[in-house]
Every structure is written in structure tokens, then in C-alpha cells.
């Protein structure tokens, strides 16, 4: 029996890995083409190629749930097409036994994907974004050109054009407000380097605003003491979806303590926490299709069906995320809703097949 389980698991696992390779490869090519439209300054073709390569683990993490679904359809579908599943059922192998044989390799992929999201994607994303921002231009101070990175601490709003992981900021702009929300001071620096528990800013332009006058002066250097550290900046550098679960949890608490809106980070937190459950639900749904409506169709139709279901699941998540903010329901339901729908549909069809 263990040899049969290994055979089923190997068929599904190989199909899933092929799907991952194809989907991630195609997405990487399209992303590279998009990056070529952003070439600027020192950011040239080889930099864009390196940027795309560094972000490959992120793409694997994002596409693995869909790949598991399509892999199950392709792997089990090939066994069904060669009548091997029919022989297994005739020999007394239950649907539950086959389902467990499929879930085992999928469980390994789920755990591997969680590790990639927690320990691999965040540092690589920081390196990729920092190298791109620095290459595209460092001197974007006191302007709205480009997105930059924003952070708030107390009544001070901070903007950085580029952030290097080693503790170097480029294009620093500080906006200091009074308790009455009146702009009092703007400080722009070409560069800031972290040392001895603080930041040393270089080539500074300082503007002080009062009711009587606006005074502007230049300085060569200035000490900037703030609670912001290179470690905490790692949160600012990446999008919520690219942060680790622990970083999302801690930063969400920080935003709530500061009285700031943390909905986007809460949504990303719950999506990451529930992603393994989502992958499991999609696998169950894929298995139920093989024993149900997709039992005797062509391989191409199975793959098309898997892509269609995967896209519907992904778009349902994307639509429910902003809906939770608009309608005010808990962000966790934006992630759990599609999972429950997939799991319920798959469980019902498997029960009928068994």
C-alpha cells in the first residue's frame, strides 16, 4: 500500500513542480519586459534581470496554491486517463485513501511555501527594492517625484527616496507638525547614515515655518536622533504582502498604538496565515473534480478548468479584501470566505464520489 501511495504522490508532485516552473517562468518573463520600460539612470538591463531573479521566490509563494490545484488535476488526471484510478477503485482503494496520498506531498509544499514567505521573501524583497531605488536615483529630495517610502513617528512624517539594508538612507525629507497639525519644519538631506544609535544626515536643507516668516538655511551635517532603526526600516521598504507573518503582526500593533489605520497590514497578515488552508481547500477541490465532473475529459480541459478555478479564487480574495474595509467586517473573513467555499464544494463532491 505504501508503494501505491508513493506512486500517486510522485505523479501529483511532479505535475505540480512542472506547473510551478511554467507559471513562474512566464510571469518572470512578463515582469522582465515590464522592468525594461523602467530603465533609468544606473538601472539598466542587467540590473532589471537581477531584480527579476531576486524576486523569483516571491512569485513561487504567490502562485503555489494555483499550481497545487492544477498539479492535482494534471497528475490525477493522467492516472484517470490511463484507467489507473479505475483499477485502484476496483481493487478496493477508497477515495479517502487516494486523497490522503495526494495531500501528503502537498503538505510538504505548503510547509516549504510558509518557510519561503517567512524567511526568504522579506530579505530578498528588501535587497531588490533597495538596489533598484538606489540605481534609479538617490537625489529625489523635497519633491514628489517617484513613490519613495513613507513613515510616521509622533508628529513627524518621513519620506525616503531609497533605503539600503545596511542603514543608509537617500533623499531624506522630514515634515514636522505641531499638535495643532500645522507644518512647522521641513528638513531635507541628501543622505543619512546610521551610527551610534542615531542618524547622521549630510548636505541638509532646513526650512522653518512660523506665522511671521519662513526661514531657510543649509548645513553640511546634522545629527538626527529618532527611534527609527535599520531593522524597523525593513518594514517600510516592502509592501505588506511581502512581509513575514511576525513582522506584519508587530507592525500592525505598532500602527494601532500610533492611532493609524492598519487594515492593509491586517489583510496581508490573515492572507498569509490562511494561505496553507487555502492551498488545502484548492487541493480538495481539485481531487473532487477528478472523481466528479472532470473524470473523463481531455487533459487540456482539466488544466483550463484548474486555471479558471484558481483565478476565480484569487479574484474573490482580491475583491473581498477592499470589501472588508468598505463594509467594515473583520479582515479575517476576507481570507476565510473563499477557503470555506472551496472546501465545502470539494467535500460535497468527494462525498458523492465516495
Distance of CA 280 to the CA centre of its chain: 19
Strand 149-153 to 214-224 pairing = unpaired
pLDDT, residue 143, reads 41
Decide if pLDDT at 234 tops 80. no
83 CB-contact burial (10 Å; exposed 0-12 / middle 13-18 / buried 19+): exposed
Give the CA dihedral 149, 327, 61, 116, nearest 10 degrees: 70
Give the model confidence (pLDDT) of 236-261 as tens digits: 777 888 889 988 888 888 778 777 77
Q: What is the pTM of this model?
A: 0.80
- Which of 21-30, 214-223, 301-310, 319-328 holds the top average pLDDT? 21-30
Give the model confidence (pLDDT) of 131-174 as tens digits: 887 777 544 443 444 567 888 888 899 998 888 777 788 889 99
Task: Detail the DSSP E strand segments found in 83-232.
Answer: 149-153, 156-164, 168-177, 183-195, 198-209, 214-224
User: Mean of the pLDDT values across residues 15-38?
Assistant: 93
Boundaries of every domain in the chain? 2-135+262-353, 149-238
Helix (H, G, I), strand (E, B) or coil at 267: helix
Instruction: Kindly state the cell numbers that stand for 59.
Output: 512569485
Amino acid at each position: 500500500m505504501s508503494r501505491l501511495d508513493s506512486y500517486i504522490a510522485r505523479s501529483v508532485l511532479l505535475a505540480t513542480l512542472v506547473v510551478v516552473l511554467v507559471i513562474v517562468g512566464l510571469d518572470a518573463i512578463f515582469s522582465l519586459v515590464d522592468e525594461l520600460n523602467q530603465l533609468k539612470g544606473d538601472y539598466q538591463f542587467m540590473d532589471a534581470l537581477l531584480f527579476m531573479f531576486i524576486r523569483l521566490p516571491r512569485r513561487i509563494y504567490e502562485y503555489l496554491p494555483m499550481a497545487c490545484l492544477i498539479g492535482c488535476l494534471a497528475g490525477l488526471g493522467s492516472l484517470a486517463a490511463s484507467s489507473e484510478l479505475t483499477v485502484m477503485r476496483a481493487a478496493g482503494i477508497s477515495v479517502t485513501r487516494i486523497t490522503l496520498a495526494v495531500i501528503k506531498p502537498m503538505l510538504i509544499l505548503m510547509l516549504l511555501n510558509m518557510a519561503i514567505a517567512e524567511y526568504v521573501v522579506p530579505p530578498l524583497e528588501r535587497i531588490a527594492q533597495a538596489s533598484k531605488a538606489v540605481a534609479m536615483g538617490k537625489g529625489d529630495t523635497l519633491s514628489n517625484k517617484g513613490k519613495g517610502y513613507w513613515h510616521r513617528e509622533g508628529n513627524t512624517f518621513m519620506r525616503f527616496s531609497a533605503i539600503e539594508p545596511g542603514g543608509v538612507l537617500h533623499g531624506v525629507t522630514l515634515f514636522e507638525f505641531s499638535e495643532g497639525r500645522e507644518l512647522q519644519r521641513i528638513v531635507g538631506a541628501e543622505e543619512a547614515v546610521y551610527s551610534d544609535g542615531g542618524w547622521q544626515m549630510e548636505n541638509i536643507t532646513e526650512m522653518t515655518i512660523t506665522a511671521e516668516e519662513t526661514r531657510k538655511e543649509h548645513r553640511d551635517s546634522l545629527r538626527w536622533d529618532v527611534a527609527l532603526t535599520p531593522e524597523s526600516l525593513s518594514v517600510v521598504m516592502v509592501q505588506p504582502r511581502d512581509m513575514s507573518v511576525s513582522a506584519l503582526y508587530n507592525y500592525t500593533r505598532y500602527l494601532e498604538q500610533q492611532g493609524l489605520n492598519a487594515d492593509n497590514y491586517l489583510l496581508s497578515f490573515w492572507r498569509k496565515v490562511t494561505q496553507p488552508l487555502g492551498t488545502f481547500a484548492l487541493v480538495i477541490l481539485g481531487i473532487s473534480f477528478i472523481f466528479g465532473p472532470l473524470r473523463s475529459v481531455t487533459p487540456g480541459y482539466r488544466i483550463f478548468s484548474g486555471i479558471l478555478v484558481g483565478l476565480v479564487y484569487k479574484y474573490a480574495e482580491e475583491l473581498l479584501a477592499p470589501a472588508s474595509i468598505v463594509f467594515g467586517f473583520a479582515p479575517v473573513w476576507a481570507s476565510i470566505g473563499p477557503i470555506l467555499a472551496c472546501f465545502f464544494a470539494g467535500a460535497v463532491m468527494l462525498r458523492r464520489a465516495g
